[in-house]
Structure 1
Amino acid sequence: MIVRTLLDTDLYKFTTSYAYIKQFPYAMGTFCFNDRNETEYTKEFLKTLETEINNLSQLRLTGEELEYMTRNCRFLPRVYWEWLSSFRFEPDKIKFHLDEEHHLHIEVSDFLYKVTLYEVPLLAIISEVKNRFFGNVADMNEILSKLSEKVELSNRNQLRFSEFGTRRRFSIDVQEAVIERLNEMAQYCTGTSNCYFAMKYGMKMMGTHPHEWFMFHGAQFGYKHANYMALENWVNVYDGDLGIALSDTYTSGIFLSNLSRKQAKLFDGVRCDSGNEFEFIDKLIDRYKELGIDATTKTIVFSNALDFTKALQIQEYCKDKIRCSFGIGTNLTNDTGFEPSNIVMKLSRCKMNVNQEWRECIKLSDDKGKHMGSPEEVQACLYELRLSRLITSGDVKVKV
């Protein structure tokens, strides 16, 4: 089995699941898979994928895992982990096939508090199975040698980072080897997003909320109000905990214009996941100044396809201006010499309850080519937000 425990996923999947339970327990959603590289898969790949998907149904939260998560996630109540003990992945809900061009399609629908849990395990499975079928074999000595150079750079420059590499890891074995070495050598590794490895190696679990939380609010309450309402509802659930706000679901410019003084003071900082990091630093600092807030008391977490060299450049730019930290994923868990998978699963539609109609969920990115949604809905969003950017065929990556 590639995924061996329910905890082999990112912390934010559990925090978001609980937020849905608290705020929108009857809401439903569909997650869709997208391979940005448009990889051509085979029928043999599909058979192996099916086996791994069926294996997901065997996963159970153990008593030891329940006790660990209860002790180490004070922001999630024990009742949530007790519910998770009864949760089972349902392979029948995962619809997948190859189209005529051999591109992979996957769709999962369920109540949002459950369906959100499918995303990371499915991506990790696809990435590992793909490497097997393309004959990619990781050279562990080379991986750890390159890792040592990264760790040395981090230690020398006090570069704080977390391991965020579960979803696009080369394999679970590679990720574990990397985390084990980080735990031994990296003085400024602040933790991992993976709950299983955090438990196994005594590391801190890292994470807050994902794009889907904002995408749901945009679909249900309108794009103008999505950022504000998403942050307000997050505070209603977590009361100031998990205070790093994601900034780019409908472009960072819109986020910053929506950011209220109360939210800017309450949240510890923001996460930058697309666009030009240096421009974002300047814009965020300017917004804090407008709101009368000392930017040096706040933090930016950078997480957009980073390597350690770029992270160091960003850290130098932030010096004496604003605190910074880095979530580094693929560069840690899939730096093998083979092209990493560029795959995502995003919320494509939602409804508030079973009696309501489905509404499309979209995402606008600060990176060209990463808009997600149908051209019609993306254009409607751009119009509602009064963004002058024109839509092009290359911008739209998921059609629902």
Structure 2
Amino acid sequence: MTTDFADHVRRNVADATPPVQSLVDIDFYKFLMGQMIRRFYPDVDVTFQLIIRDKEIPLVGGVVDESELRAMLDYARGLSFRRTDLYYLRGMDVYNTNMFSEEYLKFLKNFTLPPYDLRRRGTSFELKFSGPWAEVSMWETIALAIISELYYRALMRKLRDHELEMVYTRAKNRLYTKLEKLRQYRDIRWADFSQRRRHSFLWQKSMVGLCQEVSNKQFVGTSNTWMAFHYDLVPIGTNAHELPQVVTALADSDEEKRVAQYEILSKWESLYGQGLRIFLPDTFGTEQFLAGAPAGLESWRGFRQDSGDPISRGEAYIGWLKKRGVDPREKLIIFSDGLDTDSIIRLYEHFASRIQVSFGWGTLLGNDFRDCYPADHPASTLFRPFSMVCKAVAARRTGETEWHPVVKLSDNSNKATGPKEEIARYTRIFGRAGCTAEAVLV
């Protein structure tokens, strides 16, 4: 089986198969947020930019070829939604009601990805996407998946046949060992969140199939829409940092910026009802978010923890619920920050009897090839998962000439994004209570 998989990889590399061949090969929350953006913010333009957090990873200089990257981005720009894609989205009723309006489906029917701007900058690329928010946002996980796969393909081209087979044998054994370890904890529930920094499309497809086979009820779904459709799984997703980031950037006064993060949630609830009421509080810091949260937010189903110390963030949420007279056992925490088996088990054992927990398992599920590459190979230190994101960095209302910088503070200061002077301004507005400086592996 591993030999067959390695043969598929060889053909993909030799034939320069596009890493993304469908517009539904994308995180599901891009559709959910896209519809909200179309409904409430149709007159907003944004710029998204590739950010490589790991400074030791060179994308250029013999790793990712610029002409190949352009060819794959161009291929993605030529994609459109098929009728079957739209039928699938039209029938999406995970919470017993159709999620997507005919107006939004009409928008998708005529949709293609907007232009990009790619330039070489030292040992990396400067990659930006600018235009209407609902269009540009769709690039995020697609662009990351393309870059990630091209990076690992370039390294695999340096391997001989037996070395390539060895790499995938080791990686599959590691994945199976992880899944077997989690099977010892039957009540742990987790989903695949690996698309944006996956090893490759083929590897994610194989991995999701193995998860479904081995983990049974523990494996509750995937964030990747194509994989969910292919394997008849639940597509997982709610909202992401870009919503409060962009809307806050457009707010004028300090007070308007403070309340923007809550106005987003009000609009979200009006569009999707109770089923998708999971809030993400760490954009500008969880502590300030909970302290200023309006009455009624405690009725939401739960929250997603995506930065900072997960135990202290979870304890803060439990304490906040108790202060508002809510039994934490009725609520849910979704942990999604750099997880692997040991951290999943540790968090489960800490919180399981006190609050419902679930896990969005990302890069270290879909791209853990550490120590799988031949140790004596010159490129062995490069064959590992690394941290990169594609974030909104500027926003403006359509017709304006001035761009407003977009900021994320995070509960982890090493994940903060934005110009230094704007980070300082936002720190003055929101504070840094509860913020820590954690190493960012992925």
The alignment's TM-score, normalised by the length of structure 1, stands at 0.93
**2:47 matched residue in structure 1:** 30
Q: Structure 1 residues 334, 386: closer, same or farther in 2, change over 3 A?
A: closer
Q: Go from structure 1 to structure 2 and tell me whether the alpha carbon gap of 1:134 and 1:361 turns closer, same or farther (over 3 Å shift).
A: same
What secondary structure, in the 3-state scheme, does the structure 1 residue paired with 2:244 have?
A: helix
Task: Give the whole-Å Cα distance in 1 for the aligned partners of 2:432 and 2:304.
Answer: 22
Unaligned ranges ≥5, structure 2: 1-17, 158-163, 371-382
- Work out which of the residue numbers 95, 98, 102 in structure 1 matches 2:123: 102
Say which is worse superposed, 24-33 or 226-235, in terms of deviation: 226-235
> Counterpart in 1 of 2:3?
none
Work out whether residues 27 and 354 of structure 1, in 8 Å CA contact, stay in contact via their aligned partners in 2: no
2:287/2:434 contact within 8 Å kept: no
User: For residue 132 of structure 1, what is the aligned residue in structure 2?
Assistant: 153
One of 16, 38, 50 as aligned partner of 1:21? 38
Which moved further from structure 2: 320-329 or 61-70? 61-70
Q: 3-state DSSP class of the match of 1:228? A: helix
Aligned CA distance change for structure 1 residues 202 and 279 (closer, same or farther; 3 Å): same
Residues 8, 196 of structure 1: 8 Å contact kept: yes
1:162 aligns to 2:179 (yes or no): no
What corresponds to 2:73 in structure 1? 53
Larger Rg: 2
Deviations 1:101-140 (A, max 9, x none): 2221111001111110011110001111111223375733
Q: SS where residue 109 of structure 1 aligns?
A: strand
Deviations 1:279-315 (Å, cap 9, x if unpaired)?
A: 1111111100111111111100000000011111101
Match in the other structure for 1:398: none
Relative to the length of structure 2, the TM-score reads 0.84
CA-based RMSD of the aligned residues comes to 2.1
Separation of aligned partners in 1, 2:367 and 2:434: 34
Checking the alignment, whether the CA contact within 8 Å between 2:364 and 2:385 is kept in structure 1 is no
Q: Which residue of 2 aligns with 1:242?
A: 276
Residue equivalent to 1:144 = 172
**Number of residue pairs the alignment of both structures matches:** 390
Counterpart of 2:223 in structure 1: which amino acid? S
Q: 2:221 aligned with 1:200, yes or no?
A: no
| Distance (whole Å) between structure 1 residues aligned to residue 173 and residue 337 of structure 2 | 24
Q: Give SS of 2:35's match.
A: helix
Q: SS at the partner of 1:183?
A: helix
Say whether residues 1:122 and 2:143 are aligned partners: yes
Q: Secondary structure at the match of 1:167?
A: helix
Q: In the alignment, which residue of structure 1 is the partner of 2:89? A: 69
The offset of 1:356, in angstroms, is 5.9
Deviation at 1:341, TM superposition (A): 2.7
Deviation at 1:89, TM superposition (A): 1.6
CA contact (8 A) 1:217 1:229 kept: no
The verdict on how the C-alpha distance between 1:389 and 1:307 changes in structure 2, with shifts beyond 3 A counting, is closer
Q: CA deviation at 1:388?
A: 7.2
The Cα shift of 1:63 comes to 1.1
| SS of the residue 2:196 aligns to | coil
Aligned ranges for residues 274-285 of structure 1 at < 5 Å? 274-285=307-318
Separation in 1, partners of 2:183, 2:436 = 43
The one-letter amino acid of 1:85's match is K
Q: Any idea what SS the aligned residue of 2:72 has?
A: helix
Partner of 2:61: 42
Q: Could you tell me how far 1:389 is from its partner in structure 2? A: 9.3
Change in CA separation of 1:150 and 1:261 when aligned onto 2, cut-off 3 Å: farther
Distance in 2 separating the partners of 1:8 and 1:303: 20
Residue pair 1:66, 1:82 contacting (<8 A) in 2 also: no
Unaligned runs of 5+ in 1: 396-400
* Secondary structure of the structure 2 residue equivalent to 1:206: coil
Which residue of the partner structure matches residue 177 of structure 1? 206
1:181 CA drift (Å): 0.7
